[in-house]
């Protein structure tokens, strides 16, 4: 891995490594003129000459996805054939950080978070954009603790027009729809992924697990998920039915839209949800470090140290 701290990409100086995965690295960056913080995602693999124009076209589409629940893409570019995206920096971390694996969320929180994510996805779907990588690591908390869907750029950063292998498609295996595994992602693939997230929030684990990537993939393709009420009997039967429908192997058997899924989930759980508001104002964990704002033209006040202070990017299985 190339250490890019101190380098400049576009108008941003890379200050600190926030996380890394098999596909890309994410840095905290500061605008050299405006003194604004941003997250800069840099792909490991360079683009070939014929891939540059498609990258620019698709990046323009992503940059126009402006919605209250979507992390904005502020800039994109290519330096020495290496593509990068500049995005809004979400200071309060991800829902994965606040709710580690194995955590069961109250139904009210699940409904609220799901509705916000669905609103973001519906906006993208209306523009014919498929996210392809919906997971808790990509659900961030904004400055007002609203949920922000991030990483729309993963599809364009990993797209290779000459690579038709279904196992090289963008996404994260635990949350990947059967048709996406087969190299044919569609709008309903995002609904399936959100349903996996909801399932995990309700019972503490993903429905499909295994000792190898192939085993997990085959479960997505052929095995029904274990009914939620077998794992957590207190879950209302209508909620289990809604999640099961969104997890149908055939995209045509899922809800007609991501909004329909979120609304059905809300209706199914309404009798179990108390009158109190869901805990959207959760406080960041003490392990989540928030860099201070930039002051003047200097970046010297920003935190330094090991990138281990920040959680890694989970883009694997």
Q: Kindly list the catalytic residues.
A: 133
Give the CA-trace dihedral at 91, 95, 96, 98, to 10 degrees: 80
- End-to-end, the C-alpha distance of the chain in Å comes to 20
Distance CA 154, CA 41 (A): 9
* E strand or H helix that includes residue 139: strand 139-141
Q: What are residue 84's DSSP bridge partners?
A: 42, 77
In the three-class reduction of DSSP (H, G, I as helix; E, B as strand; rest coil), residue 24 is classed as: strand
DSSP state, residue 168:
G
Task: Look up residue 166 and give its two tokens.
Answer: 């279904």
Q: What are residue 77's DSSP bridge partners?
A: 84
Q: Where are the alpha helices (DSSP H) in the chain?
A: 49-63, 95-98, 107-126, 153-158, 178-181, 187-203, 213-222, 228-231, 237-246, 258-269
DSSP state, residue 254:
S
Distance CA 203, CA 9 (A): 42
Question: Phi and psi (nearest 5°) for 25?
Answer: -120, 150
Residue 116 to residues 39, 176, 204, 262, 271: CA-CA distances in angstroms?
22, 20, 20, 9, 20
Q: How many CA atoms, within 13 angstroms, populate the side-chain half-sphere of residue 86?
A: 18
């Amino acid at each position: 891995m190339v250490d890019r701290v101190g380098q400049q990409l576009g108008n941003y100086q890379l200050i600190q490594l926030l996380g890394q995965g098999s596909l890309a690295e994410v840095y905290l960056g500061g605008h050299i003129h405006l003194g604004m913080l941003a997250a800069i995602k840099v792909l490991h693999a360079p683009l070939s000459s014929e891939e540059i124009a498609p990258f620019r076209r698709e990046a323009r589409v992503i940059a126009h996805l402006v919605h209250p629940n979507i992390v904005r893409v502020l800039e994109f570019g290519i330096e020495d054939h290496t593509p990068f995206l500049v995005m809004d920096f979400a200071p309060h971390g991800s829902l994965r950080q606040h709710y580690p694996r194995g955590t069961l969320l109250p139904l009210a929180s699940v409904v609220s978070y799901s509705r916000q994510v669905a609103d973001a996805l519906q906006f993208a779907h209306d523009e014919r954009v498929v996210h392809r990588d919906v997971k808790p690591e990509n659900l961030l908390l904004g400055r007002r603790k609203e949920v922000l869907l991030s990483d729309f750029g993963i599809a364009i950063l990993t797209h290779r027009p000459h690579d038709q292998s279904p196992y090289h498609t963008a996404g994260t295996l635990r949350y990947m729809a059967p048709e996406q595994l087969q190299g044919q992602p569609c709008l309903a693939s995002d609904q399936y992924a959100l349903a996996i997230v909801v399932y995990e929030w309700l019972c503490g684990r993903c429905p499909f697990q295994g000792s190898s990537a192939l085993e997990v993939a085959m479960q997505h393709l052929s095995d029904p998920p274990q009914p939620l009420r077998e794992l957590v009997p207190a879950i209302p039967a209508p909620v289990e039915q809604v999640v099961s429908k969104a997890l149908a192997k055939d995209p045509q058997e899922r809800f007609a839209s991501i909004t329909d899924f979120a609304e059905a989930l809300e209706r199914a759980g309404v009798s179990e949800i108390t009158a109190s508001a869901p805990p959207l104002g959760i406080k960041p964990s003490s392990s989540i470090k928030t860099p201070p704002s930039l002051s003047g033209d200097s970046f010297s006040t920003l935190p330094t140290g090991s990138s281990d202070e920040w959680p890694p990017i989970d883009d694997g299985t």
